[in-house]
Amino acid sequence: MLYRSPVRNPLATAVRNASTAAALMASVSVVPMVSAQSEEGGSLVLEEVTVTARRRAESLQDVPIAVSALSGDELTLRGAQDLTEIAQSVPSVTLEPSRATNTTLTAFIRGVGQQDPLAGFEQGVAIYLDDVYLARPQGALLDIYDVERIEVLRGPQGTLYGRNAVGGALKYVTRRLSDDLNVRLRGSLGNYGQTDLVGTVSGAVTDGFRLGATIGSFQRDGFGDNLFTGGEQYDKDIVGFRVSAEWEPTDDILIRVAYDETDDQSSAVAGWRPFPGALSGIPSPSDVFDTNAGASVLDTTAGINGNNQVESEGWMVSVDWNLTDQMTLRSITAGREDYTESVIDFDSLPTPDFDAPVIYDNEQFSQEFQLLYNADRWNLVLGYYYLDSEAANDFDVVLGTIIPGGLTAYTGGVIETEAWSVFGDLTYELTDRLSLSVGGRYTEDERTADVFRANYLGVGSPFFGVEDAIELAVTSDYEADRTFYDFSPRVNLSYALNEDMLIYGGYSEGWKAGGFDPRGANFVTPAVEEGYDDEQLDSWELGFKATYLDGRAVTNVALFYSDYQDVQIPGSVGVDSDGDGVNDSFVGTVTNAAEATISGIEIEGSLLITEALSLQYSASFLDTGFDEYIVGGVDVSDDREIQNTPEEMFFVALNYNMDAFGGDLLLTTNYSYKGDIQQFEIASPDIDQDAYGLWNASVVWTSDSDTWLVGLHGKNLADEEYATAGYCFGFQDCPSALGLENNTTVFFGPPLTVFATVEYRFQ
C-alpha cells in the first residue's frame, strides 16, 4: 500500500502517490501547481508525477484519457471551499448548487447533466465519495476537507468501476490513514462572519490497525438579508464528521471501514426578483442577495414548520485481497441515507402566491466486486456492481392567492431502482509504444414507481397536516415498473511517439436508464404510466499529451465528438384546468424529445518559467446544438440550446514561490472565464447568464518543517454578480406562468469574499 507522506511544499507534488482506492478509476491526468527539480547538469524540469490508477506505477503523461485531478493540498493552498470551485479550472465542467438549495449539486460535463433533484431523475454525472456512488444529488455538494484529491473524468464511464455514467464522473477521495500519529487543526476567519474549524487525527493503534477521525464546522452569515423576516440569505451552517479505520491482518489483506455524517441547517435560499410583484406591488430588492420571501413563516410551509435542513450519512466497508503478486480481489459494500426538509419560495415575496414545502427521503445500498490482474503487458479489470435504492419526495405547490382560500397541488412519489451490471476492461501493450484497451458493460436496471397527485382547496394538503383540506381532484394515482437493458462498449488505442509525446484515440458509449416522472398527470395523459425511455451517448475522442522545452512544459489536448440520442428532457409547466385563462396547476413534461451533437477541444497545461515562477492554464471550446427537438410533432430545435454549458471557458494561474520568514511563501492569482450560459433549453433572458470572469488570489506561508500553514485568500475580487440558477414562471420569456405575481427569480454565486486560514500539523 502507498500512503501519503508529508512534504515541505505540498503544492510542489500535487499528486505524488495514488492510493489503492483509485485503482479502479480510469487513468488520471493531473496538471498540478508546478514545481521544479534539477537534473544532472543543472537544468530545470517539471517534477514528474507518478500515479498507480491502473494498478501499476505510471507517469501521468502516459495515461490515455481526458481526466483532471486536483490534490487536497493544492486545493488547500488555493483556498477552495467546496466542489463548485473545481469547475473554475477544469474544462467543460459546470458545478453549481441547485435552485433554492445549499448542498444539492447540479453537475454538467460536456453538455450532459441533470438539474432537477426530484425522485425519478438520475444524474448525468456520477458523483463518488471514495468508491461509493451517490445515487441522489441531495448532500452531494461536499465541502473540501480531509480530502486526498478530487478527480474529474470527462466523457462516458462504466467499464472500470461503479455505476454507468453517461456524461462523466466526479470523485471525492478522502485522505488515507498513516501509521504515524497525524494531527491537523485548521481554522478560518473571513468577511460575512465566516468561521470554519476542522480537526483531524489519525494514527496506528496497534501494528497493522489504524484509526482516524475528522470533524468540521462551516459557519457564515448571509451574503444578503431577508427583508421580510429579518433572517439570513445565502448563509451557511454545516457540521460534518467522518471516522474511519484500516486493518491489515496480513500483508495481503487490507480492510477499510468508514462512516460519515453531515447536518446542513443553513437558511432557505430564495431567489432575487427582477420584477416587482404584479399583484402586491412589492418592489424588487436593490441588492441581488436580498429577498422579501416569507414562505418559511407563512402557513404555506407549516407542515414542516418552515424548516430547511439536510441530514445525510453513509457507511462503507472495503476489502482488498492480494491473491497473488499479479491478482487482487476487491469488495466495496456501502449504504447511504439522506433526509431533506426544504422551503421553496417561488415568488420570493411575503405573500403566499407560489410556495412549496418539500421533503426528500433517500436511501441506497450498493455492492461492488472487482478483480484486477496485472502482468508484464496485461492490465485487466473485471467487476460486478449492484445498486438497490429508493428515492421519495413529497411536496405541496401552494397557490395561495389564485382563488379565495388558496389552491394546493400535492405530489407524492416513490421511485425504486434495482440495478446490476457486469463490466470489464483489458489493456494490452502490443509493442513497447502501442497499447490497446477494450472494455464493455452490461446493465439491467429496473425502475418501480408509486405516484399520487391531487389538488386541494386551501393552503396545504393532508400529507402536510391540513386535515380539513377539501379534495378537488386526483390527477395521478398509479404504480408502474419498467426494466431497461444495455451493453456499452469502449475501445482506446494509444501510441507513444517518443518518451515525451503520446497520442491516443478512442470510442465509448454512455447510457442512462429511463424512469418515471412523479409530476406527470396520468389521468389526463395515460402515457405517463409508461415512463420515459433510456438515453445514450456515443463519444469519439482524440488526445495528445506532450512534455517539451526540455521538461519545463506540459500540454494535454483532447478533441471529442458526441452523438447524444433520446435525450431525457425533464421539466414542469403550468396548466389551466378550468379554462379561465389562469394556470391553476402544473404537470411534468419529461420526454425523450431530443437528439444533440456536442463536440469540442479541451486544453490543460503548465509551464515552469523559472525555478520560482510557474503558469497553469486550461480551456475548452465547445460546439453544442440540438439536431432535433420535437414538441407536439414539430421540430423546434432551432429555438433550443444545451443548458448549463458555456461554449467557451478558460483558466489561467500564475504562481510565485520563494523562501521567506523561515519557510515557503506562495503568491498565486488566477482568473477563470465562462461564456454565455443558458439555464434551460428555452432561452430566458432574465435568468440566463452572460459571459463573466472571476479573479482570485492567495498568499500562503508554509513553515520549513511543514508544521504551520498561514494563508490569506480572496475570491471574486472584482465582485462580479453572476447567476447560477433560476425559476422562470413569470409572465414574459418563460415557458408558462404560475401564480399572479410574475414569478421569475434568480440565484447568484458568492460575492467578493476574503478569509484567513491557520493550520497546524503534527506528523
- Checking if the pLDDT of 580 tops 80, the result is no
Instruction: Give every CB contact of residue 327 below 8 A, 6+ residues apart in sequence.
Output: 371, 372, 373, 374
Q: What is the pLDDT of residues 412-436, one digit of tens each?
A: 999 999 999 999 999 999 999 999 9
Are 683 and 728 within 8 A, CB to CB?
Answer: no
- Checking if the pLDDT of 113 tops 70, the result is yes
Containing H/E element for 79? Answer: none
What is the pLDDT confidence band of residue 504, given thresholds at 50, 70 and 90? very high
Q: What is the pLDDT of residues 70-81, one digit of tens each?
A: 888 889 999 999
Number of other CB atoms surrounding residue 386 within 10 Å: 14
Which pLDDT score is estimated for 58?
A: 60
What is the pLDDT confidence band of residue 590, given thresholds at 50, 70 and 90? confident
The whole-angstrom separation of Cα 300 and Cα 354 is: 9
Share of the chain above pLDDT 90, in %: 78
What is the pLDDT confidence band of residue 601, given thresholds at 50, 70 and 90? very high
Average pLDDT score over residue span 362-380: 94
What is the pLDDT confidence band of residue 10, given thresholds at 50, 70 and 90? very low
Instruction: Give every CB contact of residue 404 below 8 A, 6+ residues apart in sequence.
Output: none
- Checking if the pLDDT of 120 tops 50, the result is yes
Are 478 and 120 within 8 A, CB to CB?
Answer: no
Residue 593 or 563, more confident: 563
Containing H/E element for 78? Answer: helix 72-78
pTM of the predicted model as reported, rounded to 2 decimal places: 0.92
Cell numbers for 267: 437558511
Q: What is the pLDDT of residues 651-671, one digit of tens each?
A: 999 999 999 999 999 999 999
Taking CA 173 as the corner, what is the angle to CA 645 and CA 14, rounded to the nearest 5 degrees? 85
What is the pLDDT confidence band of residue 570, given thresholds at 50, 70 and 90? confident
Binning the chain into helix, strand and coil, the percentages to the nearest 5 are 5, 55, 35
Average pLDDT score over residue span 481-501: 96
Which pLDDT score is estimated for 146?
A: 86
- Checking if the pLDDT of 713 tops 70, the result is yes
Question: What rounded mean pLDDT belongs to the chain?
Answer: 90
DSSP string, 413-456: EEEEEEEEEEEEEEEEESSSSEEEEEEEEEEEEEEEEEEEEEEE
What is the pLDDT confidence band of residue 1, given thresholds at 50, 70 and 90? very low
- Checking if the pLDDT of 42 tops 70, the result is no
Average pLDDT score over residue span 396-412: 94
Q: What is the pLDDT of residues 613-646, one digit of tens each?
A: 999 999 999 999 999 998 888 999 999 999 999 9
- Checking if the pLDDT of 323 tops 50, the result is yes
What is the pLDDT confidence band of residue 564, given thresholds at 50, 70 and 90? very high
Which pLDDT score is estimated for 588?
A: 73
Q: Given phi > 0 = left and psi -120 to 50 = alpha, else beta, which region is 612?
A: alpha
Question: Strand, coil or helix: what is 302?
Answer: helix
Which pLDDT score is estimated for 486?
A: 97
Question: Strand, coil or helix: what is 464?
Answer: helix
- Checking if the pLDDT of 604 tops 60, the result is yes
Residue range 10-332+348-762 in CATH 2.40.170.20: yes
Q: What is the pLDDT of residues 255-296, one digit of tens each?
A: 999 999 999 999 999 999 999 999 999 999 999 999 999 999
Residue 49 or 232, more confident: 232
Number of other CB atoms surrounding residue 205 within 10 Å: 10
Cell numbers for 757: 486560514
- Checking if the pLDDT of 528 tops 80, the result is yes
Q: Residue 563's closest CA among 155, 64, 126?
A: 155
Which pLDDT score is estimated for 59?
A: 64
What is the pLDDT confidence band of residue 526, given thresholds at 50, 70 and 90? confident
- Checking if the pLDDT of 32 tops 60, the result is no
Average pLDDT score over residue span 353-381: 95
Average pLDDT score over residue span 183-209: 96
Are 570 and 592 within 8 A, CB to CB?
Answer: no
φ/ψ of 492, rounded to 5, equals -145, 135
- Checking if the pLDDT of 477 tops 80, the result is yes
Which pLDDT score is estimated for 431?
A: 95
What is the pLDDT confidence band of residue 464, given thresholds at 50, 70 and 90? very high
